[in-house]
Chains A and B, each alone.
Chain A
Amino acid sequence: MPETRDEDTAVRGLDALELQPRRGTTDRSPGQVLARAWAVTWPKLAALTLVLVAWQVVVWSGWRSEWVFPGPDRVLPTLFHEITTPEFWEAVRVTMRRAFTGFALALAVGVVIGLAVSRFGPLRVAIGSLITGLQTMPSIVWFPFAMLLYGISESAIMFVIVLGAAPSIAGGLTSGIDYVQPSLLRAGKAMGLRGVQHYSLLIIPAALPMFVTGLKQGWAFAWRSLMAGELLVIINQQNSIGWALSQARQLNDAERLLAYVIIVLAIGVLIDLFFNWADRSLRRKWGIAR
């Protein structure tokens, strides 16, 4: 068997040579990790400081009186006080519950529509451009209709969230399915993948990265619709972030108002970070990006 062993060595040698330069990720020392963390942190801190300074400068300029436009020196303490109160957490809880429920509904509707459109040609011709059109529609215009349909209720808000988010989710799914590489489809066909397995083993995972992009966009629309909804559809005595915002306006409490604006921004950034993380790790796993 000396000949076989020869071949074996040749193959293994070639594999080793081919793989060598691909090893891009080496273990980093703790110092390097810290340096890297600092490299991505300081520009953010600098930008934040700059915003705070600019804000304070505008306040000092006396452009508006301070009870309408308070500076960070007054808003930030209000914010820190606010987040220690149970009312605040109750408001966040209600708002996030609405956000997740609405998003889950939009997800279900979006997936069904997306699958149907990608599966049936006539349906795509019929409502394909409608889906794109709906995505560009400012969801706030649905509220008067939603309030007629459902009254001043959470259902009205859910209705608008679904209308706002489902088109993006459906669109992400359809384009994900449309852009599955033809070579993979051919391989799947050659392996005899069909029916449910064609979807579960090939189409769905292949479409996943673009689907996640659709989810991310859908979330953005859901979140905007929800905020608009909580400001417009004021459900009596029901605490929420939107309710807190309109309360603060009615009481001319600018500090509290701005504190809640910052909260809305922070929640948006957090969820966006999560989607980016999901997107990146998917792409890395799929080998689309490193």
Chain B
Amino acid sequence: MTTITASRTDANAVDIDDISKVFGRGQGAVTAIDGMSIHVRKGEFLAILGASGCGKSTLLSLVAGLETPTSGNVSVGEHRVAMMFQEAALFPWLTVGANVEVPMKVDKVPKAERDKRVADLLELVRLTGFDRKRPHELSGGMRQRVALARALAQDADVLLMDEPFGALDAMTRDILHDELERIWRERSLTIMFVTHNVREAVRLGDRVVLLSSRPGRLIAEFEVAGERPRRIDSALIAEQAAGITDRLRAEVARHA
């Protein structure tokens, strides 16, 4: 009975098959996602683009298993999934190091190993020496890096990111793109990255999927061209982003 699942998850980290998600019942029911299928290859960086109301946050919650689809199927096989949000959502009463430790406490990792892995993860996000600081002492960009370290502390190889850099200034975001790309490669992660910033999607994604709004449906897919590391201000990125922006505008205009 596992043959079908096995053959799927061999190549893909995440399989989303014809899912729908309806919130509420009867008259007040809202269809957030309607018949969406997305297959994310192992090690792929997938950028998910959409205007408001495209159900992108719902989509991530479904993949994370925080919610169940009304119909259809989501499968992550043996992969472990972690999630990051626009707010770092670090625990303010814990130090940076203790924050990164939390998922390992959930996993009952012994103390000595926790300490070692915290040090490794902080080094990975270039925050060595900040382990005893508190979140409010850090900048927004640093907090997001701690959040990234905390997500990776779940021992996850699939990372779901819900507009993680949306609240940051352009310079910080630009540098964090480089950082995320490096960590994605070093750790062979599979990433589903939700954003409403077209250039960010093209800068980071191997592939960009475009979602429609109300209800959320997959309307277009783009394979991104260009060698990594890419630059967000390069002509190739700008050109591809322009094409996608046109599609996105057409989709938004439909709701006028």
Name A residues whose Cβ lies closer than 8 Å to a Cβ of B.
3-4, 7-8, 10-12, 14-15, 18-19, 22, 181, 183-184, 186-187, 189-193, 197, 201-202, 205-206, 208, 285-288
Verify if B205 is at the interface (C-beta below 8 Å from A). no
Contact between B92 and A287 (Cβ–Cβ < 8 Å)? yes
Kindly provide the distance from the CB of A179 to the nearest chain B CB, expressed in whole angstroms: 13
Collect the chain A residues with CB atoms within 8 Å of residue B82's CB.
190-191
Collect the chain A residues with CB atoms within 8 Å of residue B179's CB.
7, 11
Question: A190 CA to B66 CA in the complex, in Å?
Answer: 7
Contact between A287 and B136 (Cβ–Cβ < 8 Å)? yes
Contact between B154 and A191 (Cβ–Cβ < 8 Å)? yes
Verify if B199 is at the interface (C-beta below 8 Å from A). no
Contact between B142 and A205 (Cβ–Cβ < 8 Å)? no
Verify if B221 is at the interface (C-beta below 8 Å from A). no
Collect the chain A residues with CB atoms within 8 Å of residue B172's CB.
14, 18
Contact between A201 and B142 (Cβ–Cβ < 8 Å)? no
Report, nearest first, the 6 A-B pairs whose CB atoms are least far apart. Answer: A287-B136, A18-B139, A187-B89, A190-B83, A183-B89, A287-B92
How many A-B residue pairs lie within 8 Å, measured between CB atoms? Answer: 82
Question: A287 CA to B178 CA in the complex, in Å?
Answer: 30
Contact between B91 and A206 (Cβ–Cβ < 8 Å)? yes
- 30 CB contacts below 8 A, A to B, read A4-B182, A7-B178, A10-B178, A14-B172, A15-B141, A18-B139, A18-B172, A22-B137, A22-B139, A184-B91, A186-B89, A187-B89, A189-B66, A190-B66, A191-B82, A191-B106, A192-B106, A193-B102, A193-B106, A197-B105, A197-B106, A201-B91, A201-B102, A202-B91, A205-B93, A206-B91, A206-B93, A286-B92, A287-B134, A287-B135
**Interface residues contributed by chain B, number (CB under 8 Å):** 35
Kindly provide the distance from the CB of A5 to the nearest chain B CB, expressed in whole angstroms: 12
Contact between B102 and A191 (Cβ–Cβ < 8 Å)? yes
Collect the chain B residues with CB atoms within 8 Å of residue A208's CB.
93
Contact between B91 and A205 (Cβ–Cβ < 8 Å)? yes
- Per-residue contact bits, chain B 87-113, to A (CB 8 Å; 1 contact, 0 not): 101111110000000110110000000
Q: Known interface pairs A11-B175, A190-B66, A190-B83. Does A285 touch B103 (Cβ–Cβ under 8 Å)?
A: no
Question: A25 CA to B172 CA in the complex, in Å?
Answer: 25
Kindly provide the distance from the CB of A226 to the nearest chain B CB, expressed in whole angstroms: 32
Kindly provide the distance from the CB of A26 to the nearest chain B CB, expressed in whole angstroms: 15
Collect the chain A residues with CB atoms within 8 Å of residue B136's CB.
287
Question: A15 CA to B122 CA in the complex, in Å?
Answer: 14
Interfacial residues of chain B within 63-101, with CB under 8 A of chain A in the complex = 64, 66, 82-83, 85, 87, 89-94
Verify if B29 is at the interface (C-beta below 8 Å from A). no
Instruction: Considering the complex, give the chain A residue whose CB is closest to the CB of B229.
Output: A3
